[in-house]
């Protein structure tokens, strides 16, 4: 039986592949996404979570302008419209819960539990797309869920509602990623991003209006920075995927948890929790292993699709 090449050899086998640049861009992506969580944490006490999520998307609409020509060329039909709407609603729910969780639990906990998104996408792909759940995938998924228990430690510490909400966030976000996988096969990526960025604030508007609170210019500035950092993170992540295969860049995402922990300690006075680091390492190791296996098989499976669409 032919043995698959290791990730480094696989990277060199791809024309134009540059693992060094891929790792650099993924490092920069991690910095951007950790900074996004920091901006959300800053406004968490003064702006309600759903309103903060709404404003983050509204303030980010300016970044959609370059996408307009591609959107105009795309023909919409009923099934596409239904998928866009369903994804927007799922993502709006996920955003609201994610902003809420950020106000309740440490940044490191949010970051670690967020790694579960691709794992849930695997299960959705198995259920709805007939993806095969072989023994290696089963083992990796099991390790990821054990990592979740290590992070939350039910029965060994008090579980905050933020932890429960974050678990729900991962489910809702995985539904969004799964629908994005279906949409990406039919329309350009920028069209998928455009309609998501339009539908999410529209879906949140009826929820935030009855409980709207005045927002200071300082908080608006932080939320605009949040939108800019998220956009920059998606761009640098795209550059990373173009420069090197996921088998090379995916393990680098674990550093986000290290940086999130350091940020929580140094800026927000949150304690270091070794179990969160351990559990997060287990989850990202499981996701990285599945990504590596898919890369060696020469296919882009549901994990790779989910990783590429991480918010």
Q: How far apart are CA 209 and CA 207, in angstroms?
A: 6
Tell me which range, 4-13, 80-89, 229-238, 297-306, is most confidently predicted by mean pLDDT: 80-89
Instruction: Convert the pLDDT of each residue in 61-92 to its tens digit.
Output: 988 888 889 888 888 888 889 999 999 999 99
Name the average pLDDT for the chain. 82
| Residue among 233, 226, 184 at smallest CA distance from 58 | 226
- Spatial CA neighbour of 195 closest among 92, 308, 118: 92
Report the run of H or E that residue 166 belongs to, with start and end: helix 161-184
d(CA 46, CA 7): 46
Q: Calculate mean pLDDT across residues 268-274.
A: 87
pLDDT at 118: 81
| 305/262 Cα distance (integer angstroms) | 29
Domain boundaries, the chain: 18-308
The whole-angstrom distance between residue 78's C-alpha and the CA centroid of its chain comes to 28
This prediction's pTM: 0.80
Assess contact for 189 and 180: CB atoms under 8 A: no
Measured CA to CA, the distance from residue 243 to residue 264 in angstroms comes to: 31
Q: In this predicted structure, what is the pLDDT of residue 183?
A: 86
Give the pLDDT confidence of 28-47 residue by residue, as tens digits.
988 888 888 889 888 887 89
Token reading at 118 = 């691709």
Q: Is 55 helix (H, G, I), strand (E, B) or coil?
A: helix
Please report the pLDDT score of residue 142 as a whole number: 92
Distances (CA, A) of 147 to 112, 143, 183: 9, 6, 31
- Residue 7's pLDDT band, with cuts at 50, 70 and 90, is very low
In a 3-state reduction of DSSP, which class is residue 76? coil
């Amino acid at each position: 039986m032919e043995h698959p090449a290791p990730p480094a050899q696989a990277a060199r086998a791809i024309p134009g592949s540059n693992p060094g640049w891929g790792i650099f861009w993924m490092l920069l992506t991690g910095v951007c996404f950790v900074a996004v969580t920091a901006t959300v944490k800053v406004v968490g006490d003064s702006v309600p979570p759903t309103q903060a999520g709404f404003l983050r998307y509204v303030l980010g609409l300016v970044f959609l302008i370059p996408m307009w020509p591609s959107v105009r060329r795309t023909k919409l039909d009923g099934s596409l419209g239904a998928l866009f709407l369903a994804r927007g609603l799922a993502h709006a729910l996920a955003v609201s819960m994610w902003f809420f969780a950020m106000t309740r639990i440490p940044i490191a906990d949010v970051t670690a539990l967020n790694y579960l998104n691709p794992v849930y996408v695997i299960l959705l792909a198995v259920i709805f797309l007939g993806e095969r759940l072989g023994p290696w995938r089963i083992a990796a998924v099991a390790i990821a869920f054990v990592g979740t228990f290590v992070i939350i430690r039910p029965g060994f510490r008090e579980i905050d509602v933020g932890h429960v909400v974050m678990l729900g966030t991962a489910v809702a976000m995985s539904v969004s990623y799964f629908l994005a996988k279906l949409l990406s096969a039919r329309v350009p990526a920028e069209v998928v991003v455009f309609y998501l960025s339009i539908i999410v604030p529209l879906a949140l508007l009826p929820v935030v209006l009855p409980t709207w609170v005045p927002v200071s210019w300082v908080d608006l500035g932080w939320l605009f920075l949040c939108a800019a950092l998220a956009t920059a993170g998606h761009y640098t992540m795209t550059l990373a995927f173009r420069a090197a295969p996921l088998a090379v860049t995916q393990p680098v995402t674990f550093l986000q948890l290290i940086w999130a922990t350091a940020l929580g300690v140094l800026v927000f006075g949150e304690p270091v929790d070794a179990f969160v680091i351990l559990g997060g390492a287990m989850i990202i190791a499981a996701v990285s292993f599945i990504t590596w296996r898919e890369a060696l098989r020469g296919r882009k499976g549901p994990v790779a699709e989910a990783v590429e669409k991480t918010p």
